[in-house]
Amino acid sequence: MNPSVILALLTRYVLLYTRNPVRLFELFFWPIVQLLMWGFVTGYLQQQGDGDFSKTISFLIGAIILWDALFRSQQGVAISFLEDVWTRNLLNVFAAPVRMTEYLAATFSVGFLRVIITSLVLALIAWTGYAFNLFQFQGWLIPYYANLMIFGWSLGILSTAMVLRWGHGAESLAWAIPFMVQPVAAVFYPVSSLPAWLQPIALALPPSHVFEGMRAAVAGKDALWSPMITAFSLNLVYLAAAGAVFALTMRSARRKGLLVKVTSS
């Protein structure tokens, strides 16, 4: 891999964001809306009931912020690719001396930057609005974020492969993929609350282990390394599988002439 190629591709994506304020807006709009909405909902529930909802609020806010990391990272990969499709630039890039790994690494970096920026903004809002301190997780934030981000990359690669294979028709799928995973990834509720038959599936997904860990920490339990290691091992498997799917899709796209076609349609 040639770092200067990756940096050149990354420059392009960063220029896109800085040139267009609407893109920056898109970066913050949804997570902020979600934070506000769930904050108000739990606030309302707290007024209605007589139980202590403070833990519930923390669970939810923590989940929203961490989920956003997975989502942003997936979008960083998928949107960067779509950007090249939309602007009919794919041909130029793929006929330049750019390795697929360099291309993917650039999109990963876009995901990484998006995650860092939105997380900081969300952490600030959660802290001022709900007295939720994201940094209460201290060093554990690193395995949390790393695992969620890597899983986001894998989903992003899969989304990219789908657009490559099915063209513009698959674009909406590229947006939807994270939300197909969300219900079984134990984001807002523990794995144990899922139907028994879904639980093994949940446990096979890296984010479940992160969200379980986060809830345990909020509940004041001791944080454990083993779930993080499980998540990381699973992530390696998913990333390798997504990479293989992408390589195969690329090969078949070259055979079917789709690289020329997806851009010109």
Partner 1 sequence: MPAPLLEVTNLAKSFGTFTAVKSVTFNVNPGEVVGLLGVNGAGKTTLLSMILGLITPDSGSIRVFGMDLAKQRLAILKRTNFCTTYASLPSNLKVKHNLRIFARLYGVKNPSRKVDELLELLEITRLADSITGRLSAGESTRVNLAKAILNDPDLLMLDEPTASLDPDIADKVRKLVRRVQHDRSPAILYTSHNMRDIEEVCDRVLFLHQGSILAQGTPAEIVDHFQEADLENVFIKVARSGEVVTP
- State the residues that interact with partner 1 by CB under 8 A: 2, 4-5, 7-9, 11-12, 15-16, 19-20, 83-84, 87-99, 251, 254-257, 259-260, 263-264
DSSP structure class, residue 205:
S
**246: which 2 tokens?**
């992408």
Provide the residue type at 157 as one letter.
Answer: I
Q: Which does 116 bind (CB under 5 to 8 A by kind): ligand ATP, partner 1, none?
A: none
Q: Tell me which of partner 1, ligand ATP, none is bound by residue 97, counting a contact when its beta carbon lies within the kind-specific cut-off of 5 to 8 angstroms.
A: partner 1
Using the minimum distance from each CB to ligand ATP, give the nearer residue, 14 or 91.
91
- Least Cβ distance, residue 163 to ligand ATP (angstroms): 16
In angstroms, rounded to a whole number, what is the distance separating the alpha carbons of residues 114 and 108? 10
Q: How far is the CB of 91 from ligand ATP (least distance, A)?
A: 12
Cβ–Cβ under 8 Å, residues 105 and 113: no
**Single-letter amino acid, residue 138:** Q
Considering the rule CB under 6 A, would residue 21 count as an interface residue with ligand ATP? Answer: no
Q: Which residues contact 119 (CB under 8 A, 6 or more apart)?
A: 65, 68, 69, 134, 145
Q: Which is nearer to ligand ATP, 99 or 254 (CB)?
A: 254
Output the CA angle 131-132-137, nearest 5 degrees. Answer: 140
* Residues 234, 206 contacting (CB under 8 angstroms): yes
Cα–Cα distances (Å) from 24 to 27, 123, 176, in that order, read 5, 17, 21
The smaller minimum CB distance to partner 1, of residues 68 and 84, is found at 84
Number of residues that bind ligand ATP (CB under 6 A): 3
In the block, residue with structure tokens 């990359």? 153
| CB-nearer residue toward partner 1: 187 or 258 | 258
Q: Which residue is nearest to ligand ATP (CB)?
A: 257
List the interface residues with ligand ATP, window 200-259 (CB under 6 A).
256-257
Contact call for residue 261 and ligand ATP (CB under 6 A): yes
Tokens representing residue 51 in the block: 């139980």
Binding partner selected for residue 141 from partner 1, ligand ATP, none, CB under the kind-specific 5 to 8 Å limit: none
Binding site for ligand ATP (CB under 6 A): 256-257, 261
